């Protein structure tokens, strides 16, 4: 049992086990608990000491399936409304299996011309999907966080050039602090990117005109006029209520004041797909870099993000690696995306993106985005109709921000009750929605981004929120 070489013939039986488990798992997704706490003891089966003699391919895979199918969070199912999480479309899921089957290293063309070609096509299809100009390029990344790292790294290089420094070679030492300006919607992931890049997460100067984070354009304009070359971060879709920075206004300011505009559109960029919501992303085509996720609203499996940039010739100087004699350079015919983004060796994450866009096309995704926006409106209407629920924000896209509000409770009691309600929802497991703080008030903020979600799932969400809220109120 010790050496996989002796287990060569076990590959197909093990894969068949996975296929056998897939049917019941996928069939149960729409109905099963999003999270089943009762299954947690099974997790102990993963532990124990590292085996000296392995138990063999089939036994190991069977055990993983037994524990995994019982204890997995059904975030690929239709009733997971916490964070912003997509599922996996049929084509994307199958293509993700192809990624593992072929096990390509999407580092450079010398390691896989197939992965490189698929990535080039996938990136250009994404560019077209969001209506960005020809000539833009980019890279696939593990997440929107890494897409933010990529875009803000390019911004750093651009800004250092204005100070006469090649930061790829010399680093930041000796330079002043890079001015980074944003509205109040700036996402922690963009701060994390700045932290990784050596600017510090607290370098962001936030210009907000109210507690919801809406940008104070006048304040931002005044500061831009005073600081010289700067970086502006716009947020296209914030997770609390699905609100947007006015990207076109930010693009105007960046144009007037010598600033790099980076837009974080992790899920909100998908508003561009429908004529009903495209106004929300207007101006994004004038940004310098745009970060987004495929594992959210595109509904491909983790890990999948992407960055699209106006001037792709900036990627090589920022991310090319110092030469080793066996490595191609960024402009080498054998080079590729491993030299144009933060990672080197990478899985062929283009394949699920390619497959899902090939399968459903622009029209399929427009329909998906519009259906989710309709579902958000259906949920908002149900909240508005319930005497013990209160909506806290407009619903521009796919997020509905509201709270449980029975009569006769003061604000501090409502905050405590809604925080406990958020916890209770996660423990209950029938539907998943997390608590947040919106404009100073504890609230729930379900986000709809899974292709399987239907009205019935949202009606259940409302029923469970009211049931648990009522129970918490009366036992308080
Ligand atoms: C989800 C999200 C991110 C981070 O995405 P990851 O894929 O988890 O790295 C960044 N920005 C916004 C606006 C998001 O909604």
In a domain, 201, yes or no: yes
- The rounded Å distance from CA 319 to ligand 1 centre is 22
- Structure-token pair, residue 224: 């831009």
Same domain, 280 and 261: yes
CATH code of 399's domain: 3.90.1150.170
The predicted pLDDT at position 1 comes to 61
Span 38-52, mean pLDDT? 97
How many Cβ atoms are within 10 Å of 6's Cβ, its own excluded? 11
The predicted pLDDT at position 325 comes to 82
In a domain, 348, yes or no: yes
Q: Which residue has the least CA distance to atom 9 on ligand 1?
A: 145
Same domain, 196 and 325: yes
The predicted pLDDT at position 10 comes to 96
Cα 412 from Cα 105, distance rounded (Å):
53
Cα 392 from Cα 174, distance rounded (Å):
47
Q: Is 80 a residue whose pLDDT tops 90? A: yes
Q: Which of 394, 428, 388 is nearest to 408 (CA)?
A: 388
Same domain, 400 and 286: no
- Burial class from Cβ neighbours inside 10 Å (0-12, 13-18, 19+) for residue 446 reads buried
Same domain, 113 and 69: no
Cα 466 from Cα 476, distance rounded (Å):
15
* pLDDT per position as a tens digit, 405-418: 999 999 999 999 99
C-beta of residue 327 within 8 angstroms of C-beta of residue 320: no
- Structure-token pair, residue 378: 């259906």
Same domain, 238 and 325: yes
In a domain, 40, yes or no: yes
Same domain, 345 and 410: no
Q: Is 292 a residue whose pLDDT tops 80? A: yes
Q: Any idea what the Cα angle at residue 342 is, between residues 152 and 227, rounded to 5°?
A: 15
Q: Is 304 a residue whose pLDDT tops 70? A: yes
The predicted pLDDT at position 322 comes to 75
Q: Which of 314, 288, 165 is nearest to 231 (CA)?
A: 288
* pLDDT per position as a tens digit, 225-235: 999 999 999 99
In a domain, 83, yes or no: no
Q: Which residue has the least CA distance to atom 1 on ligand 1?
A: 266
Ligand 1 probe mutation, 81, 151, 187, 445, most atoms within 8 A of CB = 187
Which position has the token pair 């990672």? 343
Same domain, 318 and 378: no
Q: Which atom of ligand 1 is nearest to the CA of 235?
A: 13
- The rounded Å distance from CA 264 to ligand 1 centre is 8
Same domain, 101 and 208: yes
* pLDDT per position as a tens digit, 149-196: 999 999 999 999 999 999 999 999 999 999 999 999 999 999 999 999
Cross-strand pairs, 262: 233, 289
> End of a domain among 325, 359, 393?
359
> End of a domain among 312, 343, 359?
359
Same domain, 100 and 70: no
In a domain, 32, yes or no: yes
Same domain, 68 and 105: no
State which residues form the domain around 165: 95-359
In a domain, 29, yes or no: yes
Q: Is 476 a residue whose pLDDT tops 70? A: no
Secondary structure (H, E, C), the chain = CCCHHHHHHHHHHHHHHHHHHHHHHHHHCCCCCCCCHHHHHHHHHHCCCCCCCCCCHHHHHHHHHHHHHHHCCCCCCCCECCCCCCCCCHHHHHHHHHHHHHCCCCCCCCCCHHHHHHHHHHHHHHHHHCCCCCCCEEEEECCHHHHHHHHHHHHHHHHHHHCCCCHHHHCCCCCCCCCEEECCCCCHHHHHHHHHCCCCHHHEEECECCCCCCECHHHHHHHHHHHCCEEEEEEECCCCCCCECCHHHHHHHHHHCCEEEEEECCCHHHHHHCCCCHHHHCCHHHCCEEEEECCCCCCCCCCCEEEEECCHHHHHHHHCCCCCCCCCCCCCCCCCHHHCCCCCCCCCCHHHHHHHHHHHHHHHHHHHHHHHHHHHHHHHHHHHHCCCEEECCCCCCCECCEEECCCCCCHHHHHHHHHHHHHHHHHHCCCECCEEEECCEEEECCECCCCCCCHHHHHHHHHHHHHHHHHHHHHC
- The rounded Å distance from CA 144 to ligand 1 centre is 5
- Structure-token pair, residue 41: 């003891």
The predicted pLDDT at position 333 comes to 87
> End of a domain among 333, 359, 385?
359
Total domain count for the chain? 3
Instruction: Indicate the average pLDDT of the chain.
Output: 97
Same domain, 210 and 227: yes
Query: Confidence band (pLDDT; 50, 70, 90) for 401?
Result: very high
C-beta of residue 224 within 8 angstroms of C-beta of residue 208: no
* pLDDT per position as a tens digit, 311-353: 999 999 999 987 778 888 767 888 999 999 999 999 999 999 9
- φ/ψ region of 50 (left if φ > 0, alpha if ψ in -120 to 50, else beta) reads beta
Ligand 1 probe mutation, 81, 141, 143, 183, most atoms within 8 A of CB = 143
Please give all residues whose beta carbon lies within 6 A of any atom in ligand 1, as ranges. 84, 143-145, 187, 189, 235, 237-239, 264, 266-267, 293, 305
Q: Which atom of ligand 1 is nearest to the CA of 189?
A: 10
In a domain, 86, yes or no: no
Query: Confidence band (pLDDT; 50, 70, 90) for 211?
Result: very high
In a domain, 38, yes or no: yes
Same domain, 296 and 180: yes
Cα maximum dimension of the chain: 73
- Structure-token pair, residue 318: 């920022």
Cα 4 from Cα 388, distance rounded (Å):
60
Span 14-35, mean pLDDT? 97
How many Cβ atoms are within 10 Å of 83's Cβ, its own excluded? 15
């Amino acid at each position: 049992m010790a050496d996989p070489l002796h287990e060569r013939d076990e590959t197909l039986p093990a894969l068949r086990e996975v296929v056998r488990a897939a049917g019941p798992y996928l069939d149960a997704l729409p109905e099963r608990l999003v999270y089943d706490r009762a299954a947690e003891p099974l997790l102990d089966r993963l532990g124990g000491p590292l085996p000296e003699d392995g138990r063999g391919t089939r036994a190991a895979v069977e055990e993983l399936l037994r524990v995994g199918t019982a204890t997995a969070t059904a975030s690929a199912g239709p009733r997971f409304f916490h964070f912003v999480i997509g599922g996996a479309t049929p084509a994307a899921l199958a293509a993700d299996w192809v990624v593992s089957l072929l096990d390509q290293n999407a580092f450079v063309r010398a390691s896989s011309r197939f992965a490189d070609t698929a990535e080039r096509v996938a990136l250009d299809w994404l560019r077209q999907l969001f209506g960005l100009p020809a000539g833009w390029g980019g890279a696939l990344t593990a997440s929107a966080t890494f897409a933010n790292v990529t875009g803000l790294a390019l911004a750093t290089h651009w800004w250092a050039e204005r100070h006469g420094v090649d930061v790829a070679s010399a680093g930041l030492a000796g330079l002043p602090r890079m001015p980074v300006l944003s509205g109040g919607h700036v996402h922690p992931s963009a701060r994390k990117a700045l932290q990784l890049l050596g600017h510090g997460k607290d370098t962001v100067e936030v210009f907000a005109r109210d507690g919801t984070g809406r940008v104070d354009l006048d304040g931002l304009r005044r500061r831009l006029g005073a600081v010289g070359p700067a970086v502006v971060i716009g947020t296209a879709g914030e997770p609390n209520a699905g609100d947007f920075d006015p990207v076109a206004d930010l693009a105007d300011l960046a144009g007037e004041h010598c600033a790099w505009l980076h837009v974080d559109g992790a899920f909100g960029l998908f508003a561009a797909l429908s004529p009903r919501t495209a106004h929300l992303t207007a101006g994004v085509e004038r940004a310098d870099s745009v970060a987004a996720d495929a594992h959210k609203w595109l509904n491909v499996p983790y890990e999948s993000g992407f960055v699209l940039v106006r001037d792709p010739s900036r990627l090589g100087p920022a991310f090319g690696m110092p030469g080793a004699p066996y490595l191609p350079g960024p402009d080498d015919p054998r080079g590729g995306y491993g030299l144009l983004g933060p990672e080197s060796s990478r899985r062929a994450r283009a394949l699920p993106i390619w497959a899902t866009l090939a399968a459903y096309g622009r029209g399929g995704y427009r329909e998906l985005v519009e259906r989710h926006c309709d579902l958000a409106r259906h949920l908002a209407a149900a909240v508005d109709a319930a005497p013990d629920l209160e909506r806290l924000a407009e619903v521009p896209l796919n997020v509905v921000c509201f709270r449980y509000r029975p009569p006769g409770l003061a604000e501090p009691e409502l905050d405590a009750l809604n925080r406990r309600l958020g916890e209770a929802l996660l423990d209950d497991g029938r539907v998943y929605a997390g608590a947040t703080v919106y404009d100073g008030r504890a609230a729930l903020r379900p986000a709809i981004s899974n292709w399987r979600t239907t009205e019935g799932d949202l009606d259940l969400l409302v029923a469970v929120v009211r049931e648990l809220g009522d129970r918490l109120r009366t036992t308080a």
